[in-house]
Structure 1
Amino acid sequence: MAKICFSLLFTFCSFAVFAQKFKVAGKVLDEKGVPLIGASVIEKGTNNGAITDGNGIYKLMVGYTNATLIVTYVGYNKIEREIDGKGTQNFTLEDATLLNQVTVVGSRSLNRSSADTPSPVDVIDIREITTKQGQLDVNQLLQFAVPSFNSNRQTGSDGADHVDPASLRGLGPDQTLVLINGKRRHQSSLVNLFGSRGRGNTGTDLNAIPAAAIERIEILRDGAAAQYGSDAIAGVINIVLKENVNQLTVNANSGIYLAKYRNDSKTFDGLNYSVNANYGLAIAKKGFVNITADYNSRAHTNRAYTHPEEELVRRQYGDPKMQNGSLYFNAMVPVLKGVQIYSFGGINKRKGDAYAWTRFKNDDRNIPSVYPDGFDPVIASTIDDRSVTGGVRGVWKQWDIDLSNTYGFNKFHFFVNNSLNRSLGPLSPTSFDAGGFQLGQNVSNLNISRFYKTIFQGLNIAFGAEYRTERYKIFEGDRPSYYNYDPKFESGSQGFPGFSPANVINKGRSNMGAYVDVEADLTKNLLIDIAGRFENYSDFGSTINGKVGARYKISNLLALRGSVSTGFRAPSLAQKYFNSTFTNFVNGKAVEVLLANNDSEVAKTLGIPQLKQETSENASIGVTVRPASGFSLTVDGYYVKVKDRVVLTGQFEDTDREIGSLLKSLNVSQAQFFTNALSSTTTYGIDIIAAHSGNLGAGKLNTTLAANLNYMELGDVNTSPKLAGKEDTYFNKRERRFVLASAPPSKVNLTFDYTVEKLSFMLRGVRFGQIKLVNWNYGEVKNVTTGVKYSESEYTDIYKPKVQVDLTVNYEFTKNISVSLGGSNLLNAYPDLHTPSLTESGGAWDPVQMGSNGAFFFTRLGFKF
């Protein structure tokens, strides 16, 4: 597949060299008629561009006579203009003011483009990728569009079935900061306990934000703790909401999976459909309110496959059923000259049904009189997510001032259906309210900046402060969901035992931060950025982080960039205080596990230390090259070292000499904890993006090759003195493999996007590198068949490299109506099969690589009025 794709890339680029183009030339001046040297002129929708010379003159070959040019220069407003068949195009740029700024994450300068920053920034046009991809939610859209971004749907993973964990560059979900319109977004209240990604981490629920409300997503692939907040270790994702007015956009999508590996005769399953509408209304002069409504429904898939020689361990294994509804808005109103008030936010409500492990009819946990054929417990959820930001910004004596407040809230409420409490016997209810948890966050933020055009070649000074409060709660379920009515049997609702009064907590903390950021174009070719940030947590004390970045333009065709920085992440409130008793399955057998927080009696008995902060060191260096018109190449290498990494420990058993009797008294077989178990994780990687735009025949071909290569090393295990010698339990090889599986060691995306008049085609291949996980055989001493101690090959599940191929065809009937037809994973690729009773999830594969649902066929109708 890779050889074919590269051959096509070479062929298409060769054709493009001979394609006819249209010549455009002109000048770029400021308001006084002074030439702007080094201004950027780019053909919209391509990477084809030019830079003005010493007289402000540019020359450019574009693909069409109606091409649109985008002109930018630091400190000036952007101009976007269709050339309308005219070969001479002159531009006059005005001074940038706050009311016309272009925000790009990674720089606090008002009009710095993503190509000019000292750190790599991906800018994803959501309208483009939603038109040409089958994925419907933000996580899956980015999973197949950005190689350094990874998100997999989990199954059999309790709450993680309902909130997809996501990460950048293989680091934890909680080590990436998410912003909306440049303002901090709250995290989910969920802490991930199972699955191959995000284990032991909290993260931000990107799927709570409808893709239809988003104009673009900016991804800063670099440590940015000094710029945006101490937890931005892996990078920053900035979601920019739509501002367009006087246009109604409506989209209807549907799709279904080809049902391979089901344990019945169904051919298709997992019906997905969604409908969304977006409309913007103009208010006063340059004011607006933009509103989006979105509804998405997803049915169960079932891939409960097992090997012929092994008994089935789950009758249901696959995507959970999900209903997701959102209402979002983005608004701005000018109130005085140079002053505007703004607000944005929204609500999201999600209901999910996920299958837990099967209790077969002869299972000790089943009551045949209630379930003659056994039962498949359903973990249901109701997730409420809401946020709102309000602020005022303006210009005072050439200083741009932005004052805002953001409140965010996430509540996760569990219900368990088709289940029973075995200790209640035949009188047990079959549905339970299992309780849940919630997180509230309030952020007050002040940003002040000023751009000096006459100092050096441009100097931007920014500083500000932020005050954040957070509150985390666990609330109990109904009594039958957790209570033990007969000590001879396990307590609580099966599938997910409810939270008891002993689990209930209500904890908060506050954080104060202040930053300064100086960005200077020392010469026309050299940009330097220096940032520093002070933060104080009420529960973890103070930290100071810094960053130095630089970009040097060797010529209009070649530039170097790099940065070094430090970071700091305080453990989330969920990691500090979450506690629960849940059911795990080891070799297909149910085991009751206590997850105790660090203040518990069990943790103190074992000498588990209090959690402390993670610290990081980041470095990156890269090169950007434009060797020919329409072709660009960026290569960025990176290094991230995180010390005292917070993870989940392995599980201590009730046979342990120190706490065995205590665990038995609590009616649990195993216990685990959150702790700074790893002395460090060190990640080395490289991002490569090559893009080419050119004419091919009667149309235009855009070709992109994007790759992420990633390697992680794990440090020593940090144990307490009381646990010396128990490192293999504290953080064993199995748990280490889960950390390493946060991202495949390589992910390559090759995309061909061809447009001819009203018809467009998108062909994409995504190659996922090999993943290794350790299965449940690792904990066993001997193979029951041979009597010989297990070898590494018997407890390592290897998921070999796989390629997913996608194809989409889009046709615009008119400017107002379009239709897309296509398929994702057309070759029906799956991860390698393994023994279900030995995997973490109970399926024939863990949630790795491209997922485990197979081919997906979809259609999309789009309307604009």
Structure 2
Amino acid sequence: MNPALTHRPQRLSLAVAAALGSLSALWTPPLAAQASASAAPADERVVIVGSRRAAPVSTALDTTVPVDLYSLGRTAESGGQFDLAQSLQYLSPSFNSTRQTGADGADLVDSAALRGLGSDQTLVLVNGKRRHTVALVNLFGARNRGNTGTDMNALPLLAIDNLQVLRDGAAAQYGSDAIAGVINVALKKRVGCEGVAAAGQYSAGDGRNGLVSAYCGWKLGAGTLAITGEWQDRGRSNRAEADSPRTIGDSQVRNQTLYLNGEWPTGGDARLYTTLGLQQRRASSAAWARGGVGSDDIPSRNSAAMYPDGFVPYINADIDDRWGTLGWKAGVGGGWTLDLSQTHGFNEMRYDISRTLNASIANLDLLNGGAGLSPSRFDAGGFSFRQDTSNLDVSRYFDGVLGGTNLAFGAEYRREQYRIVAGEAGSYNDVDGVGFGGNAGSQGFPGFQPGDATRKRRSSRALYLELESTPTAALTTQAALRHERYSDFGATTTGKLAGAWKLGPAALLRGSASSGFRAPSLQQVFFSSTFTDFINGNPMDVVLAPNGGAVANAAGIPKLKQERSKHFTLGGSLKPAPGWTFTADLYHIDIRDRIVLSGRFDDSNYPALGSLLASLGVGQAQFFVNSVDTRTQGIDLTAAHTLKLAGGQLDTRLALNKGRTRVTGVHAPASLVGFEDVLLSERERLFIEQGAPSLKATLGFEYQQGAWTTDFKIIHFGSQTLGTFSGTAAGVPNARYAPRTSADLSVSTALAKNVRITVGGNNIFNVKPSTQDANETDNGFKYDSVQFGLSGASYFAKLHVMF
């Protein structure tokens, strides 16, 4: 067994095993409802996100703002991706999630975002309730640098009924983070049972992936309860050159997940509802390699007695994710509906570093006459984030007002806590003297120090009002207003206007204008760490200084405040003939005072900090700061066609997103005026502007005939341009990643009435990103983790059973 995974948590092992076993033993009627739902056209499904309208419901082609609807039944049953983030990566052109490599903690949690913006500028809901972000701040990797985000892979695919992507600013409706849009995950609670067993691996023979998942929903009195248990084991892949000591590829992950979803009537039309989700993840990524005998890494980063041939440290983490909602919804007379709920979210990541050493301990041992040894494993500490949200929502539909008006209003109270826990002393200390001999801390990931440890809290209060009316049969209007007050930086008020005009039974025009905001996350405000980065292959110790701390104050970094945005959309939908549908939506997003991770300040570019950094034993410092204005513009297009062909049915779908983000202003604090090129270097600017491909399109063909289904999908990723370590000022051109096109193919057939098997391949032509100079890429390899990853073709088989 790989030593990186020998300490995996056991708290959910028995729970998940028991759930999978008990679900198999239950007998319930077949899931006929699920089969029909999976095959239902997306434009016939009910829209939840983006509107609080009580009645009548809308369809995807009638909404005032663009909403994509994805029924995930078939994805879970026969899709080639085993987790939610990668499944959406190949379904939604507006959605981007690329597995990182060589990016420390970012290797262990796949970040996700809409329209090329930051992962913390997309709000995720589960059953319409806010889901918490992760405790991790992405510090490395080719995208989402400096952002937190939501871990989509904490949600098991088999538990999901459908997923709705609102491609519009919605902070006035849902609060902070909804600048780029909102993703709502609707969970199943259908009666019946099903299970999936799947296996896959890369064509190179590594990255083996196993999945066992089971769902069961049954009646409990007049209510329903659904349980999903999932176990996933994904192996490490490695695309490094044969003579390279490094490990470059997917991280190693073991997930154990349990989700419950149910509701029960409590009299009249009132009902009690609840959702509970738990996941334990043991993950391991490979850090940069350290050299052996004859290299400059001895004695600074290695010991000849421990790793004479060099070594690759493993950055391991135990990730604990919990989310739950308890609510009561009822009619309270006069047509009014009340929804009272309490939601709890928690995410914790605790690091332990294996196959490592503290070089200062080894060097002191050598100086004292020993062999030069150090412990090879350290508890490096970690961090956690907790969010508790109380909601009171009230709504009523007035049939005779403006042709039908839905009034909704409510209040929200949210409490958040962020905590950093220090690691054991050996993970960070320097025992042979600062700046002498061996470097401090565990190689690969130095532990959090007592000075980093923190426990910070804040709260927010919000009031909102929303009106949706149909003054004529052809016109729908929507208005929303929200006021929110935070305990740490003050208040903000946002608004939204939207409308849709039916030009006839087959055509609709729609548009919206809204203001938005994103509160600085506690993670961005209080994160503190000293870590080792590699620049042109050379190590450099860097301190990321917390907002309000001594280093940030010495640099004149002001207190973080909220980002503000303006969002405009204009588009429409068209059904020109039976079997055809088209949508097109233009969007324009301006963000002011965007929070970014600064460039690196050191003695050479900011001498005032030099003595302070030297006293800390580090070479560079960086900060979070509100310093950038950006503009994002683009277009989303979809086209779908259904055709009866040769005794079967051919469904064709094209979806495309073309977007562009540009930095429109850099605002340096007074103390850093003249240092704008350090505050936002060309390299950091390109991370913001080119974090996602300029174009992403999917063209899918699904043909069904009898018991057989064939699914062929072409995915095109546009170009990206990223900066280099040396920079264009040094004569090194930026790294351009040419457009790439991938293809997935699968074939499935029914072995029996309720048994289906699928075999297929992803990226079947083994396409890789453009080759770059390894000394200039972010992960120090000729392929960087852009567009769709770097591990190449993979193959899989899935068995789906309904019982």
Q: What TM-score comes out, normalization by structure 1 length?
A: 0.85
Which residue number corresponds to residue 269 of structure 2? 338
Q: Which amino acid aligns with 2:707?
A: K
- Pick from 319, 324, 327 the counterpart of residue 258 of structure 2: 327
CA deviations 1:320-362 (Å, max 9, x no partner) are 1110110000010101011111100210000011000000212
Any conservation in 2 of the 1:230–1:545 contact (CA below 8 Å)? no
Which residue number corresponds to residue 461 of structure 1? 407
Any conservation in 2 of the 1:118–1:561 contact (CA below 8 Å)? yes
Could you tell me how far 1:683 is from its partner in structure 2?
Answer: 0.2
Q: Please state if 1:708 is matched with 2:657.
A: yes
Could you tell me how far 1:103 is from its partner in structure 2?
Answer: 5.6
Other structure's SS at 2:432 match: coil
> What pairs up with 1:327-726 in 2 under 5 angstroms?
327-361=258-292, 362=295, 363-364=297-298, 365-397=301-333, 398-425=335-362, 426-487=372-433, 488=436, 489-655=438-604, 656-678=606-628, 680-726=629-675
Which residue number corresponds to residue 178 of structure 2? 232
CA deviations 1:611-670 (Å, max 9, x no partner) are 111000000000101111010100000000010010100001233311111111110011
* Rounded Cα–Cα distance in structure 2 between residues aligned with 1:730 and 1:557: 51
Q: Please state if 1:826 is matched with 2:764.
A: yes
Q: Please state if 1:289 is matched with 2:238.
A: no
* Rounded Cα–Cα distance in structure 1 between residues aligned with 2:415 and 2:401: 39
* Rounded Cα–Cα distance in structure 1 between residues aligned with 2:471 and 2:620: 60
Q: Please state if 1:808 is matched with 2:746.
A: yes
Any conservation in 2 of the 1:803–1:829 contact (CA below 8 Å)? yes
Q: Which amino acid aligns with 2:267?
A: L
* Rounded Cα–Cα distance in structure 2 between residues aligned with 1:209 and 1:610: 35
Greater Cα offset, 366-375 or 135-144: 366-375
CA deviations 1:113-155 (Å, max 9, x no partner) are 3322101111111112233421111100000000000000011
Which residue number corresponds to residue 76 of structure 1? none
Any conservation in 2 of the 1:407–1:442 contact (CA below 8 Å)? yes
Other structure's SS at 1:597 match: coil
Any conservation in 2 of the 1:284–1:334 contact (CA below 8 Å)? no
- Pick from 653, 674, 682 the counterpart of residue 733 of structure 1: 682
* Rounded Cα–Cα distance in structure 2 between residues aligned with 1:305 and 1:777: 23
Could you tell me how far 1:388 is from its partner in structure 2?
Answer: 1.3
* Rounded Cα–Cα distance in structure 1 between residues aligned with 2:203 and 2:736: 25
Which residue number corresponds to residue 9 of structure 2? none
Other structure's SS at 1:207 match: helix
Other structure's SS at 1:382 match: strand
For the structure 1 residues 626 and 48, does the alpha-carbon distance in structure 2 shift closer, same or farther, using more than 3 Å as the test? farther
* Rounded Cα–Cα distance in structure 2 between residues aligned with 1:570 and 1:383: 25
Any conservation in 2 of the 1:243–1:290 contact (CA below 8 Å)? yes
Any conservation in 2 of the 1:47–1:691 contact (CA below 8 Å)? no
Other structure's SS at 2:208 match: strand
Q: CA RMSD in A?
A: 1.5
Q: Please state if 1:304 is matched with 2:221.
A: no
For the structure 1 residues 761 and 124, does the alpha-carbon distance in structure 2 shift closer, same or farther, using more than 3 Å as the test? same
* Rounded Cα–Cα distance in structure 2 between residues aligned with 1:758 and 1:401: 46
Which residue number corresponds to residue 7 of structure 1? none
Any conservation in 1 of the 2:47–2:164 contact (CA below 8 Å)? no
* Rounded Cα–Cα distance in structure 2 between residues aligned with 1:748 and 1:660: 48
* Rounded Cα–Cα distance in structure 2 between residues aligned with 1:165 and 1:418: 27
Which residue number corresponds to residue 119 of structure 2? 173
Which residue number corresponds to residue 158 of structure 1? 104
Could you tell me how far 1:47 is from its partner in structure 2?
Answer: 5.2
For the structure 1 residues 821 and 399, does the alpha-carbon distance in structure 2 shift closer, same or farther, using more than 3 Å as the test? same
Q: Which amino acid aligns with 2:730?
A: Y
Any conservation in 2 of the 1:408–1:441 contact (CA below 8 Å)? yes
Which residue number corresponds to residue 250 of structure 1? 195
- Pick from 773, 797, 801 the counterpart of residue 835 of structure 1: 773
Q: Please state if 1:790 is matched with 2:730.
A: yes
Could you tell me how far 1:837 is from its partner in structure 2?
Answer: 2.2
For the structure 1 residues 44 and 436, does the alpha-carbon distance in structure 2 shift closer, same or farther, using more than 3 Å as the test? closer
* Rounded Cα–Cα distance in structure 1 between residues aligned with 2:706 and 2:458: 57
Segments of 5+ residues of structure 2 without an aligned counterpart are 1-35, 363-371
CA deviations 1:384-430 (Å, max 9, x no partner) are 00111101111111111110001111001011000000110123100
Could you tell me how far 1:795 is from its partner in structure 2?
Answer: 3.4
Could you tell me how far 1:43 is from its partner in structure 2?
Answer: 11
For the structure 1 residues 43 and 666, does the alpha-carbon distance in structure 2 shift closer, same or farther, using more than 3 Å as the test? closer
Any conservation in 1 of the 2:78–2:800 contact (CA below 8 Å)? no
Q: Decide which structure has the larger Cα Rg and report it.
A: 1
Which residue number corresponds to residue 51 of structure 2? 107
* Rounded Cα–Cα distance in structure 1 between residues aligned with 2:140 and 2:80: 27
Which residue number corresponds to residue 861 of structure 1? 799
* Rounded Cα–Cα distance in structure 2 between residues aligned with 1:600 and 1:396: 51
For the structure 1 residues 48 and 674, does the alpha-carbon distance in structure 2 shift closer, same or farther, using more than 3 Å as the test? closer
- Pick from 247, 250, 254 the counterpart of residue 316 of structure 1: 247
* Rounded Cα–Cα distance in structure 2 between residues aligned with 1:332 and 1:141: 28
For the structure 1 residues 847 and 610, does the alpha-carbon distance in structure 2 shift closer, same or farther, using more than 3 Å as the test? same
Q: Please state if 1:766 is matched with 2:711.
A: no
Which residue number corresponds to residue 3 of structure 2? none
Other structure's SS at 1:838 match: coil
* Rounded Cα–Cα distance in structure 2 between residues aligned with 1:395 and 1:802: 53
Any conservation in 2 of the 1:691–1:705 contact (CA below 8 Å)? yes
Other structure's SS at 1:427 match: coil
* Rounded Cα–Cα distance in structure 2 between residues aligned with 1:815 and 1:619: 49
The total of aligned residue pairs comes to 747
Q: Which amino acid aligns with 2:318?
A: T
Other structure's SS at 2:730 match: coil
- Pick from 272, 277, 280 the counterpart of residue 209 of structure 2: 272
Q: Please state if 1:182 is matched with 2:128.
A: yes
* Rounded Cα–Cα distance in structure 1 between residues aligned with 2:172 and 2:786: 33
CA deviations 1:246-278 (Å, max 9, x no partner) are x1101001101022xxxxxxxx11000100000
For the structure 1 residues 456 and 569, does the alpha-carbon distance in structure 2 shift closer, same or farther, using more than 3 Å as the test? same
CA deviations 1:93-129 (Å, max 9, x no partner) are xxxxxxxxx5610111132333221011111111122
Q: Which amino acid aligns with 1:834?
A: Q
Any conservation in 2 of the 1:421–1:492 contact (CA below 8 Å)? yes
Q: Which amino acid aligns with 1:465?
A: A
Which residue number corresponds to residue 31 of structure 2? none
CA deviations 1:51-96 (Å, max 9, x no partner) are xxxxxxxxxxxxxxxxxxx6x9xxxxxxxxxxxxxxxxxxxxxxxx
Q: Which amino acid aligns with 1:302?
A: N
Any conservation in 2 of the 1:47–1:630 contact (CA below 8 Å)? no
Any conservation in 2 of the 1:180–1:240 contact (CA below 8 Å)? yes
Greater Cα offset, 580-589 or 596-605: 596-605
* Identity among equivalent pairs (%): 44
Other structure's SS at 2:473 match: coil
* Rounded Cα–Cα distance in structure 1 between residues aligned with 2:42 and 2:411: 39
* Rounded Cα–Cα distance in structure 1 between residues aligned with 2:465 and 2:671: 44
Other structure's SS at 1:400 match: strand
Any conservation in 2 of the 1:47–1:692 contact (CA below 8 Å)? no
Q: Which amino acid aligns with 1:790?
A: A
